[in-house]
Amino acid sequence: MNKPMAVAAALIVGVGIGFVGSRAADGPESAGPDSSIDVPATALKMWYPPVQEFENDGEPLDDERFDALMATLDEAMNAEETLADIERSIEPNVQGFFRRIAIPELSAEQTERASAYLTGLVEQYPEHERLINRQVSMLGVYGRAYPVVPSFTASVRSHVYADGLYPPDGVFEDAWIDRMLAGFDAMLELPETVNDFEREAGVVLRGFTQRLQFGRISDEQTERVLAHFDAFAEKHPELADVVDERRHYIEYLLPGRVAQRTVGKDLDGVEFSLEEYRGKIVVLVFSGEWCGPCRGEYPYHRFAMEQYKDDPVVFLGVNSDADPEVILASKARGEAPDYRTWWDGHSQPDAEIVATNGPIAKGWEVFGWPTIYVLDQDGAILHINKRGGDLIATLDDMVVEIRMAEFEAERAAAIETGTDAESESND
């Protein structure tokens, strides 16, 4: 479950992106990204006026400018490059439109016109009805005054990984990293990125590193990525802080990395740290009573706590409810599992807004709830977002491995002791 609407902007802006490219369109306006990166051709052209012209603090959008945007949307949808690749062109074309109407407030008539146009695309392209209807639903979000400009790169993310989101066998091969780095460079050259560089480049940087959570990256590959980021920061010093932030992410939040130092107060107000639980498998659960899918994990957590009560396994929670009494009451009723929990929330002016931007959640860059990390006995991140039965199976494998290691150690010690005893007897 994602954050509520008031904080969903951060998620939408921060949506991961990688590499994409062109199947069509030659010509002067199509030059730019690496030709080996498959970017939809329509994304290689700047269809709309600069997005900054539409950042008006949520004021109404005048009819003249709205009419011009609608005409441009229609032009983009009927362009040669769009018609040659309609499936991959719909979302980028519409996202460009959304980026201009997001911050201004549309009138009811303007929203109705935009909705009618998008709905009409279903009649033209019925085979893409689901994709188009998704754009219609997003119009309901962006038609009202929205707090941020949505990312353009989000509109091409589905074309980023032609081979799937997850690397084979959970390990990033060098060729995969090559493609990601080439895609990183290509995304920075898209006209929409160039027009809104600081904002969009930040999205590309964050998206690149977030994709790395889906597999293991070697030390050598890590050095290559960081060197690429350093070169970027040297060329764009205005984004040096973002690059430093992404370095921190790579160092502490990827599989195989030792988790960052985490300290806070539990529900009784007692301060404790993650490091206190070294030597145990730690299941770190970012959760909240406001979140239905979070509550849906409770039975699995309760089962695992009982199943592995005699093993070095511990659950720790990071609670995001605005009032700690909410989770305390749930634990008292026996609904929420009774594992030690940081309260990471804080008072909110609106009780319906949950406190998902607490310091621990921000430090771990948690955008989706629940988020679950499994750490090994040395504090290294092994698994991310194992849920339900998958979490139980993961813990079972880890516990069996520990038991086997202990058995082998005991067996070796017994053999050594037996050998020593035999040696003394012979003497």
Whether residue 145 sits in one domain with residue 85:
yes
- Residue 256: the pLDDT is 93
- Distance, in Å, from the CA atom of 33 to the CA atom of 123, rounded to the nearest integer, reads 33
Whether residue 234 sits in one domain with residue 270:
no
- Residue 166: the pLDDT is 72
Task: Answer yes or no: are the C-beta atoms of 68 and 74 closer than 8 Å.
Answer: no
Boundaries of domain holding 365: 263-389
Asked whether residue 417 is assigned to any structural domain, the reply reads no
Whether residue 270 sits in one domain with residue 208:
no
Whether residue 105 sits in one domain with residue 194:
yes
Whether residue 309 sits in one domain with residue 236:
no
Asked whether residue 20 is assigned to any structural domain, the reply reads yes
- Residue 89: the pLDDT is 96
Q: Return the structure tokens found at 352.
A: 């319906």
Asked whether residue 124 is assigned to any structural domain, the reply reads yes
- Residue 29: the pLDDT is 36
Asked whether residue 401 is assigned to any structural domain, the reply reads no
- Residue 423: the pLDDT is 46
Q: How confident is the prediction along the chain (427 residues), in pLDDT tens digits per residue?
A: 544 333 333 333 333 333 333 323 333 333 333 446 788 999 999 999 999 999 999 999 999 999 999 999 999 999 999 999 999 999 999 999 999 999 999 999 999 999 999 999 999 999 999 999 999 999 999 999 999 999 998 888 767 555 556 787 889 999 889 988 988 998 899 999 999 999 999 999 999 998 899 889 999 999 999 999 999 999 999 999 999 999 999 999 999 999 999 999 999 999 999 999 999 999 999 999 999 999 999 999 999 999 999 999 999 999 999 899 999 999 999 999 999 999 998 766 665 667 888 999 999 999 899 999 999 999 999 999 999 999 999 999 999 999 999 899 888 888 887 755 444 445 4
How many domains is the chain built from? Answer: 2
Whether residue 273 sits in one domain with residue 302:
yes
For residue 245, give the nearest of 202, 187, 216 by alpha carbon: 202
Whether residue 184 sits in one domain with residue 130:
yes
Whether residue 183 sits in one domain with residue 90:
yes
Cis peptide before 370 (omega within 30 of 0): yes
* C-alpha distances in Å from residue 133, one per residue of 5, 13, 43, 107, 232: 20, 21, 21, 21, 38
Asked whether residue 411 is assigned to any structural domain, the reply reads no
Asked whether residue 34 is assigned to any structural domain, the reply reads yes
Whether residue 220 sits in one domain with residue 194:
yes
Asked whether residue 291 is assigned to any structural domain, the reply reads yes
Whether residue 270 sits in one domain with residue 241:
no
For residue 364, give the nearest of 248, 283, 277 by alpha carbon: 248
Q: Mind giving me the DSSP string for 24-36?
A: S--SGGG--S-TT
Whether residue 274 sits in one domain with residue 235:
no
Whether residue 385 sits in one domain with residue 282:
yes
CATH code, domain carrying 365: 3.40.30.10
